[in-house]
Chains A and B, each alone.
Chain A
Amino acid sequence: MSGWLPRSAAGRRWLGLAPSYFVIGIFMLVPMVIMGVFSFLEPNPYGGVKPVGSVAAYVKLFFEYDLEDKLIFNSGYINIIFRSFQLSAGATLMCLLFGFPVAYYITLQPENRRNFYIYLITIPFWTNLLIRTFAWIIILGRGGVIETPLLAAGIIEESLRMMYTDGAIAIGLTYSYLPLMVLPIYASLEKLDFRLLEAASDLYASRFEVMTKVVIPLCKPGIIAGCILVFIPCLGAFIAPNLLGGGKKLMLGSLVQFQFASARNWPFGAALSMLLLSAVVIMLIFYARAASRRAAMEGESRS
């Protein structure tokens, strides 16, 4: 063994992981620290920040100054945050409703065909998200693919006004992140022992009960992972809200993007990002706890 390697197993392990630590440190931790620091500085009206400490950005999340320069409660941003959570939850639910049957269907296919279907699921990732979202404007918009034939057939009298609504945003989000729901659910369904389905049916379970009592509980890890993978990027999404919501229905992601791009208020954008980050971290902690509890329950020592 080469002499320069650390002697202890722990030391060698650390050395092996060093490249990953390095990459994560440079590309994740450092930017996050910068954001954290920026959120406690004052904005520079020409972009960037002034190196003056301030909590103004965090105050602005909940309060605004009235004409007499007194702080009053402002629910505007909280509403945006609330709506972001609502829309993200809605999109996650839709992804689950559409994604689960797709994943289940793929699992039932012969093995050689499954990879092909999975490949089809990932194809949308090959095209820019912006372009794919624009396509939805053509589908949903006035005189678009949905409306035109309905109008021509006389089924509807006037435009459905589908664009620039919460619904349009939710559709856009669902479309964007559906593969992220399908893949982890497929991964856990693929490991499912289908003899258990026969066993359940043999023990008088209806098709519905086979689903609810056996299939869904056993692929819960995949469902939870899929929900997290969809919900988190939905919260920070800004392309779908901007294009399909018309920028009128702001979501957290578009608000952050607006602060950095147009409003030139970097500290406020950074503070919003920190808020988003803490929400995500809190959710992940709950997930990790639940997962470790389950692992502890199932992995008790054999006797």
Chain B
Amino acid sequence: MTAAIDIRGVTKIYNPGSNQPVKALDSVSLSINDNEFFTLLGPSGCGKTTLLRLIAGFEQVSGGEIMLFDDEIENLESNQRPVNTVFQHYALFPHMSVASNVAFGLERLKKPRSEIDETVARVLALVKMTEFGDRRPSQLSGGQQQRVALARALAPSPKVLLLDEPLSALDLKLRQAMREELKQLQKETGITFVFVTHDQDEALAMSDRIAVMSNGEVQQIGGPTDIYEHPVNRFVADFIGDTNFMDGEIVDIQDDLVTCRIGANSLYKAQNSGGHSVGDRVTLFLRPEKITLSAAGQANGADSRPGKVTNIVYLGNQAAYTVDMGDGIELTAQARPREDGKLPFTIDESIAVGFSARALRVLAK
């Protein structure tokens, strides 16, 4: 299958030749499938926005190739690339009505007037903004401007739609509602979406595939569950979701289980991800939701260890507990409040901490 976008060894260096060159992207290669919701995820400064701007044509690559459906585009001006962008702060033209904003791209492409009017009406309906065609952007709320920006970018039927943190300026409720809508819109239009965000929840909720980036490099590419359950390194495990890390040394390997010594003398069994040998320094990671907390003495199963609550953060639907496991090991786990709203454990309470060896995974150091 032909890739919608094929990034081949793309490097971007800002201020080359100056005394402070900045390498924003370091030989990045990735392939985005047609009709895919693809997310570039990473902290600020990781190069995700730079990559998007290179695809859009706002910046020029320092090296490498960008293919769009087998056409080489990295040397084209942005107005010659059949991709459109939804900007972080919308960048709607303030001197034009909503309808003129949406028609802008089609007019530049010299489409006949009747077709322009038809398309504008259709995309405005698609984003549920039909009755706002005559308004100015300044008369719209943030969420409405967001929809107009989407309609404007969709109107010319781009081969790929680029979205640069489009939800970051919206408040939480609206942001969550827009997630669903964006995903829905991508399915309806069948256009490939390349979505840039630093918000892991957004990425997990919407994407078909995610590329996690840091320091100008792609750390891991995969589906949301791949990335969450099987991170390839500590950065990915740490960036996506909350995680407990334990540094230790492998002391024994039996089939699909490895035994690690953590701290001075605590032994933990974990799932073997392969390629390890006895004596390796490794990091184990354990998602908080895979830990079951129960009152001391009520624990069932051999996987339970004693611990002591040292801190509680109340989050409404649940509480995050920090538990001292002894030997300098601290784990964070979650527990739901009881039906009467009270939290199940108190600070300094001794409890049983249960988790299966299947939930503990080994990351290479």
Contacts and interface: CB of A to CB of B under 8 A. Distances in A.
Contacts of A116: none
Contact of B79 (A195, A206, A302): A206
A30 interface: no
A205 B77 CA distance: 10
B139 to A, nearest CB: 5
A195 B104 contact: no
Given A198-B56, A298-B138, 9 more contacts: A195-B91, A198-B85, A201-B58, A201-B78, A202-B57, A203-B104, A204-B109, A218-B95, A298-B95
Contacts of A214: 93
Interface in B64-105: 77-80, 83-85, 87, 89, 91-95, 104-105
B20 to A, nearest CB: 14
On chain A, which size bracket covers the interface?
20 to 34
8 contacts: A195-B87, A198-B85, A202-B56, A202-B58, A202-B78, A202-B153, A204-B109, A213-B104
Interface string B144-170: 000000001100100000000000000
A300 B136 contact: yes
Interface string A283-303: 000000000000001111111
A203 to B, nearest CB: 4
B109 A217 contact: no
B78 A302 contact: no
Interface string B1-44: 00000000000000000000000000000000000000000000
A202 B139 contact: no
B108 interface: yes
B139 A204 contact: no
Given A195-B87, A209-B108, A203 B95 contact: no
Interface of B: 56-58, 77-80, 83-85, 87, 89, 91-95, 104-105, 108-109, 136, 138-141, 152-153, 156
Contact of B87 (A199, A213, A300, A303): A199
B105 A193 contact: no
A302 B109 contact: no
